[in-house]
A and B are shown apart, each in its own frame.
Chain A
Amino acid sequence: MRREFTSDPRLRLREARDEAVHFRARAIAGFVLIAACLLGLGSRFAYLQIARHDEFTARSDQNRISVRSIAPTRGLIYDRNGVLLADNIAAFRLEIVPENTKDLPQLLEDLGAVVALSDDDLERFNALRKAKHSFESIPLRFKLSEDEIARFSTERWRFPGVDVVPYLTRAYPHGEEFAHLIGYVGRIDAADAEKLDAQEYAGTTHIGKTGIERYYEDELHGQVGYEKVEVNVDKRPLRVLPDRVAPKSGKNIYLTIDARLQRVAADAFEGRAGAAVAIDPRNGEVLAMVSVPSFDPNLFVNGIGKIDYATLLNAPDKPLLDRTIAGNFTPGSTVKPYLGLGGVELGLRRPEDTVFSTGEFHIPGQERGYRDDKKGGHGRVDLVQAIAQSVNTYFYSLAYDMGIDRFSGWMANFGFGKPTGIDLNGESAGVLPSQAWKRARMHQPWYPGETVIAGIGQGYWVITPIQLAHALATMAAKGVRHVPHLVHALQDGLNADPQDVPEDPPQPSFIHNMANWSAVLQGMIAVTGPTGTARGLGDNFPYTIAGKTGTAERFSRTDEEWQNIMSVAVERHEVLFEAFTPAEDPRIAVVVALQAGHTGAHDAAPIARKIFDAWLKDIDGGHG
């Protein structure tokens, strides 16, 4: 469609001018079109930048601001006099930023020549490394010794990306003496993490695993703090932003425990397996609570090595077991004062009523004999003498007359057969023999003979030392039950005044006639008197000691000949002693239980006396 050329130049000029005019119109149309488009684009910008500005600002901040938790400092634990029992000490650990290293496996090998690295360390490090970014610092070895820090420092140039970093770690200066009671903290594991408030524990690495550390975790932990960090798209923190919420330290705990008493009690065992509990019967405060043998809780804080743990776990004398709350003992004769009180309170006996002990008790119409500890018997004894000399026959017949239902009903008053409710986890309930228990547990009916032996604390009976101490304290407090407890006061920050933790108001005494109680008390006082089973225990002690011995058979010996009890292998007996003092106005009640021994008087009572002596020094020194 070639255009026909006009030869007339003017015509061509005009045509050209027409075209130019046409073009101008099109150019204007184009410009308007473009302006409209750009206006639309501008509106889109305005929509995003003005109408939706807040939304996008929030999302931009969400992109760049990462909230980093700051773990609170854990509360400290003191004894009642302010002796520090659980501390946070500065320690040093080795940390590696994988990104800054060149050949990590080689580096770890070289590092192992400078600082001891166990397989556990490496395993933990590798596990953490998988879970973290390569620019994050990952701990490799905790609690470096001064030597190790010095050695590393001189060779630091060889280890780019490796650093010594200070941190706070839990330390238990009294170690073994408080291992069970205070327990220990350990690294938060998967099972802990499931139960925890993820937000509160976001920066926290350790949690109370046992003892007070576990029971009072909520008080000790404190409140998490936050700081905001600007991160890039790889979540790498670039700088800390100004607004910061400081963490709130956990509360300091003042225990009811007297550290000196605790030490004396622990030492008094001289390594023999057992437990001792001392309670202030006026209020249920636990003054000492030891379980022997023990272990070093500091081993657990930063992860105990596999070998150490296996050694502890498999040791025959079970150092990890807290015998005070979970050690099962047969109470033996220690239950006699409680039963004796039941006899008079329930109207089955008067205090002056006597029983003739011939050396053997028979259920009417039955062949089988139930023996006294003394060949030929103790003769005619009343309640006081029966307790003082631990006359089995008196309590055989009393239990038999009482019958199992009234027996277990009465004994339950002292808290037998159920946890005391002390502020520790893992307390055993023990066993208070009853028809219901036997039916539930063994699907068998109850036999009268079982009532008879229950009367001397044998048979199905199981108690824990804390349970017996609670019963003893209840007896000492004339039937008023105070729940045993370990925390005396809480302190919110070092400068705050410790706030006493109020005790739950106790229930009124379940004893109706205090004359009955006085009779039992006389019996218990007589135990340490000249004819008592623990005679001589109160020599040179300013206050009267009221107590009761217990030597429990671990195996039946009904078929054996009479033997001098001292010649029987110690492994045959669990021996116990319970006592409180001053008898007239009891201020301390002590239970000592040994897993093996000759008799309660011979082995357990001296430990109780040592505790009383130490307690005496404390109250003379103005404490208490």
Chain B
Amino acid sequence: MNLLARLQAWLVRALREPRLDLPLLSALLVLGLCGLTTLYSASDLDSHLLLNQALRFVLGGALMLLISRVPPTVLRNWTPWLYAASLLMLVAVAALGQGRGTHRWLNLGVMRFQPSELVKLTLPMMVAWYLHARDLPPRWLTLAAVAVLIAIPALLIARQPDLGTALLVVASGVFAIFLSGLAWWRIGLLLACAAGAAPLLWHFMHEYQRNRLRMFLDPESDPLGNGWHIIQSEIAVGSGGWFGKGWHHGTQSRLEFLPEHTTDFVFAVFSEEWGLIGVIALLALYIFIVGRGLMIAANARDTYSRLLAGSISMAFFVYVMVNGGMITGLLPVVGVPLPLISYGGTSAVSLLAGFGVLMSIHAHRKLMSR
């Protein structure tokens, strides 16, 4: 009873005086509206789908609001446990998960849940937690420990197989290290090693992943099969021109030449309908969000908050880059959604939860600094 009353009081306070960063919030709102508009067109005016996505935004927004009330110190204290819990869930998914041929989902009875989405948040938290108590900039040994922290969930996710998410998880961890001030020469050395090891990766890839890579290199070799996605996506983007074909006038998506036009390839629909002008505006919005996130990180009160906020912001960019690269044929096809525009529940919710963390860090910046 007491607990319930306290929760109620906390909620009221959260709503009355939200500790939110207004520029970031407005940018997210604009992005969300833009996403819904694009989705409505891409789904050929499917209001059911639109409502579903709006509902997720509401859910994600609520989560963001909630998390923004949680002080970073509390988050920091919970970090190891959250990390451990998310790892456990990944193991559980590997053992008894379900999904379309891949083991990604955990059925919680009321809703299906993708633990890998949770890891997108808990991993940067864990790396930040680990690094904040170390001597910075990190040396090789610290680096090795962090590498293990990253590798365990990344490998579990890659095995599902969900290369896109694994990539994002690794990126968020790597960004935390980068922001912790790792010496440039160490970065250079690591990059060189990574480049040298790249051919090894081919060895560990699934056949479908290899096909994607082949198609990326030469999509016209199989225009009706594996190359279809890339070709149709490039046609959609290219035919958009300067100003696009207009909202709901994108023929590539409306006539279903473009596959997955509400999910992974929604950016192609946007490019087709809004043209280069729209794309530049959207990219500007994304870079504004990333920049604002990095500013919040720079103003944070402690190392943990800085690293966490910074890596969340930079990981957000990876979504845009990988998705945009994919639909323009710049990068191979990897299942990464366009943040807050692609249709799909868990990614929107986990992204907004991440922004909740940023909001919290922003709200608590003055408490300890100065």
Q: Give the B-binding residues of A (Cβ under 8 A).
A: 1-3, 16, 19-20, 22-24, 26-27, 30-31, 34-35, 37-38, 40-42, 44-46, 48-50, 52-53, 55-57, 59-60, 63-64, 230-234, 238
If A3-B133, A48-B238 touch, does A42 touch B298 (CB 8 Å cutoff)? no
In the complex, which residues of chain A have a beta carbon less than 8 angstroms from the beta carbon of B320?
Answer: 38, 41
Cβ–Cβ contact A230 & B325, under 8 A: no
Q: Give the interface SS of chain B, mostly helix, strand, loop or mixed.
A: helix
Looking at the complex, which one of B142, B237, B251, B298 makes contact with A45 (CB distance below 8 Å)? Answer: B237
Q: B254-281: which residues lie under 8 A (CB-CB) from chain A?
A: 255-257, 271, 275-276, 279-280
Among A19, A26, A59, A233, find the residue whose CB has the most chain B CB atoms closer than 10 A.
Answer: A26
Closest to B139 in A: A1
Contact B257 A63 (CB under 8 A): yes
Query: A44 near B252 (CB under 8 angstroms)?
Result: no
Q: For the complex, count residues of B whose C-beta is within 8 A of A.
A: 56
B255 near A38: Cβ-Cβ < 8 Å: no
> In angstroms, how far is the closest chain A Cβ from the Cβ of B225?
14
Take A1-B139, A34-B317, A41-B328 as given contacts and tell me if A49 and B242 are in contact as well, using a CB distance cutoff of 8 Å. yes
Q: Would A56 and B297 count as touching, CB distance under 8 A? A: no
Indicate if the CB atoms of B306 and A60 lie closer than 8 Å: no
Whether A46 lies near B133 (C-beta < 8 A) is no
Closest to A58 in B: B239
27 of the cross-chain contacts (CB-CB < 8 Å) are: A2-B135, A19-B306, A23-B179, A23-B303, A23-B307, A27-B295, A30-B178, A30-B179, A35-B287, A38-B320, A41-B321, A41-B328, A42-B279, A48-B329, A49-B242, A49-B275, A49-B276, A52-B238, A55-B238, A57-B241, A59-B238, A63-B251, A64-B257, A230-B251, A232-B255, A233-B256, A233-B257
In the complex the two chains form, is A34's CB within 8 Å of B287's CB? yes
- Which residues of chain A are near B179, meaning CB under 8 Å? 23, 26-27, 30
Q: A30-B175, A31-B291, A44-B328 are in contact. Are A59 and B302 (CB under 8 A)?
A: no
Tell me if A49 and B279 are in contact (CB < 8 A): yes
Instruction: For the complex of A and B, list the 3 residue pairs with the smallest distance between their C-beta atoms, beginning with the closest.
Output: A56-B238, A60-B239, A232-B255
A23 and B298: CB pair below 8 A?
yes
Identify which of A2, A22, A34 contacts B314 (C-beta below 8 A).
A34
- Could you tell me the distance between the alpha carbons of A46 and B240 in the complex, rounded to whole angstroms? 10
Checking A30, A41, A42, A232 against B294 with a beta-carbon cut-off of 8 angstroms, the contacting residue is A30
Taking a contact as CB atoms under 8 Å apart, the answer to whether B280 and A23 are in contact is no
Main secondary structure of the interface of A (DSSP, over half): helix
Q: Is B23 an interface residue (CB 8 A)?
A: no
Q: Known contacts A20-B298, A49-B276; decide if A38 and B283 are in contact (CB<8 Å).
A: yes
> A49-B242, A233-B257 provided; 15 other pairs, C-beta below 8 A?
A1-B134, A2-B135, A3-B135, A19-B136, A19-B181, A26-B180, A27-B310, A34-B317, A38-B287, A42-B279, A45-B237, A45-B280, A53-B242, A57-B239, A63-B255
B283 touches A48 (CB 8 A): no
A62 to chain B: closest residue by CB = B235
Complex contact A49–B238 (CB within 8 A): yes
Contacting pair A26 B257 (CB below 8 A): no
Contacts A37-B317, A56-B234, A57-B239 given; indicate if A26 touches B255 (C-beta within 8 A): no
Q: Residues of B contacting A37 with CB < 8 Å?
A: 317, 321
